[in-house]
A = this chain, B = another copy of it.
Amino acid sequence: MAKTPVLTPRADDFPRWYQELIAKAELADNGPVRGTMVIRPYGYGLWERMQQDMDARIKETGTQNAYFPLLIPQSYLAREADHVEGFAPELAVVTHGGGKELEEPAVVRPTSEMIINDYFSKWVQSYRDLPLLINQWANVVRWELRPRLFLRTTEFLWQEGHTAHATYEEARDFAARIQRHVYADFMENTLAMDVVLGRKTVKERFAGAINTLTLEAMMGDGKALQMGTSHELGQNFAKAFNTQYLSKEGKQELVWQTSWGSTTRMIGALVMMHGDDNGLRVPPRLAPVQAVVLAIKGDDAVLAKVHDIGDRLKAAGVRVHVDDRTDTPFGRRAVDWELKGVPVRIEIGPRDLDSGTAMLARRIPGGKEPVALDALATLLPTVLEEDQALLLRQSRERRESRTAEVSTTEEALEAAAAGGWARIPWSDLGEEGEAKLAEHAVTVRCLVSPDGSVPDSEDAPGNVAVVARAY
């Protein structure tokens, strides 16, 4: 008897598979206002783990958290010309407050450069106040016409870093440090995701930046997803807000700035990167639940044993959940944990007690085998590290095998149409080629140096454009 698939197979309809997985793994629901989302406890648990990990990395750079208001006077947005042009079409506007029409409407922040710079200009007086390194965890709103859960939502959660430095070089190095030592390290080591680090072309730059650094990942369908960005803002906002400091030499100087962000979109990336036809697969270092111990039947001895194993695994440092809901059929629960992508299931029934073993089901490589109960606590940490490494390896291999080296715009378009990425010398593509790609909804995801590092400039010799369809 063939098993009815729990999800539409990816190969049949990737977007539908994505939507079904999010619903059935109880990650999120659509909100009532178009484009908004409800992040359900299991989805939010993933976000909490991401936050904890990233927050520690952000703090290691000397950055401190703060909180700036949600509502920004509409006039603020107009202060930096490129910035307002970039965000105007996406704004949500509050026109009434406390039962009255407001004298000046307020926008719900789409990002906080404007309001944060207003305060930076007050807080920064002397070179002693620099660098000023601030981060906030917050919600932002950008009106979304074609919403998709986690990937493009009208409201999303994110962290946004904003820094001010005395010199161009310091700001440049800090933006690069965030890209490499906060974002890339987190994505590779915790999310088990292969990411390509590069810089955006002028066309793809953040509104108001002089340079945008990016991290791009290949999803299961071969499309690209921008995982995070780190911007050099130059002195654009410093000029707009007159953010100056008195230097050691007694001169008034404008500051140099950065901003950088990563969002709940990373949850969508997790699904599209590691998910398979049976559901999500959560990297063990991220997983809120690394192992679930399931009672197959509601027998007293079995229930006692699952809790005993749960305690022993907890003592061994494993994040464990005991599933003793034996009024729900075992098969349904097993499918549910598979959908949720918990790395390891330990299944215990009456027969296992006799033999002193349990079935160990591994979600990431797949497969099931009996293991001695007494061996579990020492075995599991090793198994989990193996699975973490396997996910990163699979992620890297997919990107490598589905990336074509090409030398013409036409070949780049073919590679993208075939569900992959293309690498093409930037000198062969150029802004003209970039415009032609755009006609086919294909974009330059980033420029990289021949040695794989992040180029110092758009025009650096040998720059390679990484080209793909993207979310």
Check B106–A69 contact: CB distance below 8 A: no
Tell me whether A72 is interfacial, beta carbon within 8 Å: yes
Name which residue of chain B comes closest to A55, CB basis: B48
Tell me whether A1 is interfacial, beta carbon within 8 Å: no
Contacting residues of chain A (57-71) with chain B, CB-CB under 8 angstroms: 64-71
Number of copies: 2
Contacting residues of chain A (86-125) with chain B, CB-CB under 8 angstroms: 88-99, 106, 108, 115, 118-119, 122
User: Are A155 and B119 also in contact (CB < 8 A) when A44-B66, A89-B98, A92-B94 are?
Assistant: no
> Once bound together, how far apart are the Cα atoms of A71 and B155, in whole Å?
8
Interface secondary structure of A, over-half rule: mixed
Contacting residues of chain A (273-293) with chain B, CB-CB under 8 angstroms: none
Chain B residues closer than 8 Å to A76, beta-carbon distance:
32
A158: shortest Cβ distance to chain B, in Å?
12
Chain B residues closer than 8 Å to A81, beta-carbon distance:
none
Can you list, as one digit per residue, whether each of A128-153 has a CB less than 8 Å from chain B (1) or not (0)? 10000010001101011100000000
Q: How large is the interface on A (under 10, 10 to 19, 20 to 34, 35 or more residues)?
A: 35 or more
Check A41–B70 contact: CB distance below 8 A: no
Tell me whether A29 is interfacial, beta carbon within 8 Å: yes
A66: shortest Cβ distance to chain B, in Å?
5
Chain B residues closer than 8 Å to A45, beta-carbon distance:
64-65
Partner of A99, one of B48, B72, B88, B325: B88
Chain B residues closer than 8 Å to A128, beta-carbon distance:
325, 327-328
Known: A38-B115, A69-B155, A92-B106. 6 other contacts (CB 8 A): A29-B122, A32-B115, A33-B73, A39-B68, A44-B66, A70-B108
Q: List 6 A-B contacts (CB under 8 A).
A: A31-B69, A31-B71, A33-B106, A36-B69, A92-B98, A93-B94
